[in-house]
Protein backbone atom coordinates (compact mmCIF):
# COMPACT_ATOMS: atom_id res chain seq x y z
CA UNK A 1 0.00 0.00 0.00
CA UNK A 2 1.43 3.37 -0.98
CA UNK A 3 2.02 5.90 1.77
CA UNK A 4 0.33 9.24 1.70
CA UNK A 5 2.53 12.22 1.18
CA UNK A 6 2.47 14.72 3.92
CA UNK A 7 1.47 18.18 2.74
CA UNK A 8 3.06 20.99 4.66
CA UNK A 9 1.20 24.20 5.02
CA UNK A 10 2.79 27.62 5.31
CA UNK A 11 2.04 27.83 9.01
CA UNK A 12 3.74 24.52 9.69
CA UNK A 13 6.82 25.57 7.70
CA UNK A 14 7.22 28.77 9.71
CA UNK A 15 7.15 27.22 13.15
CA UNK A 16 9.30 29.16 15.60
CA UNK A 17 10.30 26.12 17.66
CA UNK A 18 13.92 25.99 16.44
CA UNK A 19 14.27 29.69 17.20
CA UNK A 20 13.09 29.13 20.75
CA UNK A 21 15.57 26.33 21.21
CA UNK A 22 18.38 28.54 19.94
CA UNK A 23 17.37 31.24 22.40
CA UNK A 24 17.52 28.78 25.26
CA UNK A 25 21.03 27.72 24.27
CA UNK A 26 22.29 31.32 24.17
CA UNK A 27 20.94 32.07 27.63
CA UNK A 28 22.55 28.96 29.09
CA UNK A 29 26.00 29.66 27.60
CA UNK A 30 26.71 32.94 29.49
CA UNK A 31 25.83 31.29 32.79
CA UNK A 32 28.32 28.50 32.14
CA UNK A 33 30.98 30.98 31.04
CA UNK A 34 30.42 33.06 34.18
CA UNK A 35 30.76 29.96 36.34
CA UNK A 36 34.08 29.13 34.68
CA UNK A 37 35.39 32.67 35.22
CA UNK A 38 34.59 32.70 38.92
CA UNK A 39 36.01 29.23 39.46
CA UNK A 40 39.30 30.20 37.78
CA UNK A 41 40.06 33.08 40.19
CA UNK A 42 41.41 32.12 43.60
CA UNK A 43 39.96 34.03 46.52
CA UNK A 44 42.64 35.63 48.68
CA UNK A 45 42.53 37.95 51.65
CA UNK A 46 43.76 40.82 49.49
CA UNK A 47 41.04 40.19 46.92
CA UNK A 48 38.28 40.36 49.51
CA UNK A 49 39.59 43.49 51.26
CA UNK A 50 37.50 46.54 50.47
CA UNK A 51 39.39 49.71 49.73
CA UNK A 52 38.46 52.83 51.62
CA UNK A 53 36.09 55.11 49.80
CA UNK A 54 37.71 58.06 48.09
CA UNK A 55 36.37 61.47 48.79
CA UNK A 56 34.96 63.26 45.82
CA UNK A 57 34.84 67.00 45.42
CA UNK A 58 31.92 68.37 47.36
CA UNK A 59 29.42 70.30 45.36
CA UNK A 60 28.13 73.60 46.57
CA UNK A 61 24.71 73.39 48.06
CA UNK A 62 22.04 74.68 45.74
CA UNK A 63 20.51 77.95 46.74
CA UNK A 64 17.19 77.39 48.43
CA UNK A 65 14.19 78.19 46.30
CA UNK A 66 12.65 81.58 46.93
CA UNK A 67 9.19 81.43 48.48
CA UNK A 68 7.02 84.52 48.48
CA UNK A 69 5.16 83.34 51.59
CA UNK A 70 8.38 83.31 53.61
CA UNK A 71 9.20 86.89 52.59
CA UNK A 72 5.66 88.24 52.35
CA UNK A 73 6.15 91.25 54.62
CA UNK A 74 9.24 92.33 52.72
CA UNK A 75 7.45 91.96 49.37
CA UNK A 76 4.47 93.96 50.68
CA UNK A 77 6.78 96.75 51.87
CA UNK A 78 8.59 96.79 48.51
CA UNK A 79 5.30 96.85 46.57
CA UNK A 80 4.13 99.79 48.70
CA UNK A 81 7.36 101.68 47.96
CA UNK A 82 6.96 101.04 44.23
CA UNK A 83 3.35 102.28 44.41
CA UNK A 84 4.43 105.37 46.34
CA UNK A 85 7.25 106.08 43.85
CA UNK A 86 4.66 106.06 41.03
CA UNK A 87 2.71 108.81 42.76
CA UNK A 88 0.06 106.62 44.45
CA UNK A 89 -1.68 105.84 41.12
CA UNK A 90 -4.23 103.05 41.32
CA UNK A 91 -4.78 100.30 38.77
CA UNK A 92 -1.33 98.70 38.58
CA UNK A 93 -1.23 96.78 41.85
CA UNK A 94 -0.49 93.44 40.16
CA UNK A 95 2.48 94.83 38.22
CA UNK A 96 3.80 96.47 41.41
CA UNK A 97 3.49 93.15 43.27
CA UNK A 98 5.38 91.22 40.58
CA UNK A 99 8.10 93.85 40.42
CA UNK A 100 8.42 93.75 44.23
CA UNK A 101 8.80 89.95 44.15
CA UNK A 102 11.62 90.20 41.60
CA UNK A 103 13.37 92.87 43.67
CA UNK A 104 13.21 90.87 46.90
CA UNK A 105 14.18 87.67 45.11
CA UNK A 106 17.27 89.33 43.65
CA UNK A 107 18.18 90.67 47.08
CA UNK A 108 18.09 87.19 48.66
CA UNK A 109 19.89 85.29 45.90
CA UNK A 110 23.13 87.23 46.25
Look at residue 77 and tell me if it is in a domain. yes
Look at residue 100 and tell me if it is in a domain. yes
Residue 39 confidence (pLDDT)? 58
Look at residue 27 and tell me if it is in a domain. no
Look at residue 37 and tell me if it is in a domain. no
Q: How many domains does the chain have?
A: 1
Q: Are 93 and 83 in contact (CB under 8 A)?
A: yes
| Measured distance CA(78)–CA(75) in Å, rounded | 5
Look at residue 6 and tell me if it is in a domain. no
pTM for the full model?
A: 0.43
Residue 24 confidence (pLDDT)? 53
Look at residue 80 and tell me if it is in a domain. yes
| Measured distance CA(92)–CA(68) in Å, rounded | 19
Cα pseudo-dihedral 22, 24, 25, 31, rounded to 10: 150
Look at residue 48 and tell me if it is in a domain. no
Residue 28 confidence (pLDDT)? 54
Cβ atoms within 10 Å, residue 102: 12
Look at residue 95 and tell me if it is in a domain. yes
What is the domain range of residue 87? Answer: 68-108
Residue 58 confidence (pLDDT)? 73
What is the mean pLDDT for each group of 10 consecutive residues in the chain (110 residues)? 62 54 55 61 66 72 79 96 95 96 90
Amino acid sequence: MPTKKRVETESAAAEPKPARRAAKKTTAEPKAAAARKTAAKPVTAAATHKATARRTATKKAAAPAFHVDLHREEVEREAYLIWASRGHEHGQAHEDWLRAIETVKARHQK
